[in-house]
Structures are given as structure tokens and as C-alpha cells.
């Protein structure tokens, strides 16, 4: 954005979305979720996480996730503190036996690869990269015991299908931080599908959740029992043990869990993952359909089937400054549409998680047209 003063553009109220939060994380929280926190004000909040009421809540979280994802018999839900970033470090101790293969196609997928590369007890990982705006494919390799995929690369707006690499016998671990709950997934295709609550589950950050296949849990238990040194906070064996008792190893943020359970049960009450994913499909249709028809906006991701339905990235033509457009939107109460900073593109990034109304995404596109029309009058 230049140093020129921000154009004073007022977006007419009848063009504006009902809710102006389009951030890719933390994402919009629905007011009903905050009501649930209020309702817990004198009951759950401020009470022990080792006692029945909070353990029941954690139980609702674990069984709700199991239902939402249609987990097959033997799969289980684990959780712990620290968010996805902590889970990556935990995975270098407790999921990767010797060698991992990483698909690296943006900021987040590259971070797990870097964590594995830095772990002195592991072999050098294999990293398969592709340019931002695309994704590479995993390739079965002798000696690879974890294939690290990313369901949705939040920094670029690329989504990939979760599928076991043909002929591979290693575990499949999927970073689903921004994909889980908004994109469809077949649980038989993964051994660990891990995420955090601040995206589709419209809660706060700070927790990690992992859906584990029997093989995933078995790997954790074997490595946890081995003579490998594992910091207790990153010990997935300890986390799994606690999760099975509907608790966490150390104290969790209870309000975060209340917010998440409310969102999860909202999804389940409306029809589950298929319903949530269909909402995201409708938002994506509105966003990409608009960009494709626009003279100045273009979907960044060239292949339609790789365009994420939860985080959309839209390039703007030269001469239309995306930072100015985002700043004018913000001045009008429509926030967090900026691109991922390290990508360095003239781009808007717009979240379309289930909490976000598809009609609000359509309204946002009309607001962008209004701003661009005013600037270039």
C-alpha cells in the first residue's frame, strides 16, 4: 500500500455482509457459541478439569468428533494443549519412527518438514515441494514410515484430497488445521488427522486434536514405550492416555472447549460434515464464480479442483492494490481479508469456514466491486 491516505469510501449498508469477519484464523465465532460460554459461566468455567462435569464436556467433544468424521471402529480422538504447532513437535517424537516424507507447498506444510529435519533422532526427511498455488503428490518409498500431507494449505488456499499414496506402508499423517470440519475426508485414508479449534470449529486456538487410526495409536504407544527421550508435554502416549479418560495432561482452556463443542454440535444437529462441507461449497462457488467473471480478480489457484473451499485466494490485477482494498474493507467493519503476508502477492484471502454465511461471501464480493469501482471512477 502506498503512503497515500486511505480513500474515504463508505460501503452502503445494504451491500454489506451480515457479519464482517472473514479471517482465516482465528475465524468467525458464532454468537450462539459465546452464549454457550455465558451459560457455563457459573457451572463449568472455573471448575476442575479432573472432575466429572468437565470430563463429560471433553467426552462430548471426543464422541462428537468421532460422529462428525464417521470414524471406523478402533479409531480414537486424542487431544492436548499447544495447538497444531505443538503437535508437529510431538509428532517428531511419537509418530515418526525414523523417516518421514513431507509434501511442502506453503508456509504451514513447510514448517512440519523443518521440524522433522531439525530432530536429531530422525533421518533426514524427504521433502517434495511444489510452487505456491499448487500441491505435489506423495510417492511410496521404502523406509518412509510417515507420509505428511496437508489437507488445506491455509497460506495459499490450496486443498488436496487425502489419499494414501499407492503402495505405501507408512502411516499417513494429515495437517487438517484449516481443512477439518469444512472439507470432506475418508477416515480410512489417514492414520492421524490433526487440527486445532480456531478454524472450522470457530473456537480459540491453543489446543490440538487428533483422529487416530489403530495403526496411528499403536505407533504412538510403541514409540512412547521405547527408550527415546520424549519431553512429557510432547509425549503423545501421555496425551492418548489422558484423552481416553476424557481429560488433558495439563490444564486446558475450558472456554475454548465450550466454544468448540457448541460449534461441533451445531454441525451435527444440521446434518454433520456433509452439511458443513456443502455450506463451504456454496461460499466457494460465490467467491470463485465472482472472480472468474471479474475483469480484475482471478482465483490464484489455477486448477479448479485444487481451489480450497475453506480459504479462498484471489489475485487482483496490477493497478488495483489489494492492501488498499483490504484496508477500506476494514474501515467499513469487514476484516481480515489480507493475503498471507509471506506469500507477497497482490491478493485477498477470504475464509469460508462453516460458520461463515455463504450469502455473506457473496455480499463481500459486491463490496469489493463497490470499492474498486469507487477507486477507479
* Residue closer to ligand PLP, measured from CB, 352 or 371: 352
Q: Does position 175 bind ligand PLP by CB under 6 A?
A: yes
User: Using CA atoms, how far apart are residues 164 and 146, in angstroms rounded to an integer?
Assistant: 11
Strand, coil or helix: 184: coil
| Shortest distance in whole angstroms from residue 141 CB to ligand PLP | 24
**Closest residue (Cβ) to ligand PLP?**
83
* Residue closer to ligand PLP, measured from CB, 182 or 205: 205
* Residue closer to ligand PLP, measured from CB, 114 or 362: 114
Q: Does position 205 bind ligand PLP by CB under 6 A?
A: yes
* Spatial contact of 263 and 98, defined as CB atoms under 8 Å apart: no
Stretch that binds ligand PLP, among 77-85, 260-268, 278-286, 357-365 (CB under 6 A): 77-85
Q: Which residues have CB under 8 Å from 214's CB, separation 6+?
A: 74, 75
* Residue closer to ligand PLP, measured from CB, 9 or 180: 180
Q: Which of 25, 70, 136, 272 binds ligand PLP (CB under 6 A)?
A: 25
* Residue closer to ligand PLP, measured from CB, 175 or 360: 175
Cβ neighbours of 253 (radius 10 Å): 17
User: Using CA atoms, how far apart are residues 179 and 353, in angstroms rounded to an integer?
Assistant: 9
Q: Does position 85 bind ligand PLP by CB under 6 A?
A: yes
Closest residue by Cα to residue 328 from 18, 14, 20: 20
* Residue closer to ligand PLP, measured from CB, 264 or 311: 311
User: Using CA atoms, how far apart are residues 146 and 323, in angstroms rounded to an integer?
Assistant: 39
* Spatial contact of 306 and 282, defined as CB atoms under 8 Å apart: no
User: Using CA atoms, how far apart are residues 292 and 65, in angstroms rounded to an integer?
Assistant: 35
| Shortest distance in whole angstroms from residue 175 CB to ligand PLP | 5
Residues 91-120 that bind ligand PLP (CB under 6 A): 108
Stretch that binds ligand PLP, among 47-55, 172-180, 318-326, 349-357 (CB under 6 A): 172-180
Q: Does position 157 bind ligand PLP by CB under 6 A?
A: no
Closest residue by Cα to residue 256 from 26, 22, 19: 26
Q: Which of 17, 83, 133, 181 binds ligand PLP (CB under 6 A)?
A: 83
Q: Which residues have CB under 8 Å from 175's CB, separation 6+?
A: 84, 88, 108, 109, 112, 148, 149, 150, 151, 194, 195
| Shortest distance in whole angstroms from residue 150 CB to ligand PLP | 6
| Shortest distance in whole angstroms from residue 160 CB to ligand PLP | 12
Q: Does position 177 bind ligand PLP by CB under 6 A?
A: yes
Looking at the DSSP bridge assignments, the partners of residue 348 are 314, 338
| Shortest distance in whole angstroms from residue 12 CB to ligand PLP | 33
* Spatial contact of 244 and 320, defined as CB atoms under 8 Å apart: no
Closest residue by Cα to residue 173 from 158, 193, 152: 193
| Shortest distance in whole angstroms from residue 205 CB to ligand PLP | 5
| Shortest distance in whole angstroms from residue 282 CB to ligand PLP | 22
How many positions of this chain bind ligand PLP (CB under 6 A)? 12
User: Using CA atoms, how far apart are residues 145 and 150, in angstroms rounded to an integer?
Assistant: 17
Q: Which of 27, 33, 84, 324 binds ligand PLP (CB under 6 A)?
A: 84
Closest residue by Cα to residue 192 from 222, 149, 230, 238: 149
Specify the DSSP class assigned to residue 339. P
Give me the residues that bind ligand PLP (CB under 6 A), please.
Answer: 25, 83-85, 108, 150, 154, 175, 177-178, 196, 205
Amino acid at each position: 500500500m502506498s503512503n497515500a491516505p486511505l480513500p474515504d469510501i463508505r460501503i452502503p449498508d445494504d451491500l454489506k455482509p451480515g457479519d464482517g469477519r472473514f479471517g482465516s484464523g482465528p475465524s468467525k465465532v458464532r454468537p450462539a457459541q459465546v452464549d454457550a460460554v455465558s451459560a457455563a459461566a457459573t457451572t463449568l468455567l472455573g471448575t476442575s478439569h479432573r472432575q466429572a462435569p468437565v470430563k463429560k464436556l471433553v467426552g462430548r467433544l471426543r464422541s462428537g468428533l468421532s460422529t462428525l468424521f464417521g470414524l471406523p471402529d478402533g479409531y480414537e480422538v486424542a487431544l492436548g494443549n499447544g495447538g497444531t504447532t505443538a503437535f508437529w513437535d510431538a509428532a517428531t517424537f511419537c509418530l515418526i519412527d525414523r523417516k518421514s516424507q513431507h509434501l511442502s507447498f506453503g508456509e504451514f506444510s513447510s514448517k512440519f518438514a523443518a521440524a522433522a529435519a531439525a530432530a536429531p533422532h530422525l533421518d533426514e526427511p524427504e521433502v517434495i515441494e511444489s510452487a505456491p498455488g499448487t500441491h505435489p503428490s506423495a510417492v511410496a518409498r521404502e523406509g518412509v514410515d510417515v507420509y505428511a500431507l496437508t489437507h488445506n494449505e491455509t497460506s495459499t488456499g490450496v486443498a488436496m484430497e487425502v489419499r494414501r499414496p499407492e503402495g505405501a506402508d507408512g502411516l499417513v499423517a494429515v495437517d487438517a488445521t484449516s481443512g477439518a470440519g469444512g472439507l470432506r475426508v475418508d477416515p480410512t485414508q489417514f492414520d492421524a488427522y490433526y487440527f486445532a479449534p480456531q478454524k472450522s470449529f470457530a473456537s480459540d486456538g491453543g489446543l490440538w486434536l487428533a483422529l487416530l487410526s489403530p495403526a496411528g495409536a499403536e505407533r504412538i504407544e510403541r514409540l512412547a514405550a521405547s527408550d527415546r527421550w520424549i519431553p512429557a508435554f510432547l509425549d503423545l502416549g501421555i496425551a492418548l492416555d489422558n484423552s481416553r479418560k476424557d481429560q488433558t495432561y495439563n490444564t486446558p482452556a475450558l472456554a475454548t472447549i465450550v466454544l468448540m463443542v457448541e460449534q461441533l454440535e451445531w454441525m451435527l444437529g444440521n446434518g454433520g460434515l456433509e452439511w458443513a462441507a456443502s455450506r463451504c461449497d456454496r461460499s466457494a462457488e460465490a467467491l470463485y464464480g465472482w472472480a472468474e467473471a471479474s475483469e480484475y480478480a482471478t482465483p490464484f489457484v489455477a486448477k479448479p479442483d485444487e481451489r480450497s473451499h475453506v480459504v479462498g485466494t484471489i489475485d487482483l490485477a496490477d493497478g488495483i492494490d489489494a492492501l488498499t482494498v483490504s484496508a477500506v474493507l476494514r474501515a467499513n467493519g469487514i476484516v481480515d481479508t489480507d493475503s498471507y503476508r509471506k506469500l507477497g502477492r497482490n491478493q485477498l484471502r477470504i475464509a469460508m469456514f462453516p460458520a461463515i454465511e455463504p450469502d455473506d461471501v457473496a455480499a463481500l464480493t459486491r463490496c469489493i466491486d463497490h470499492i474498486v469501482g469507487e477507486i477507479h471512477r
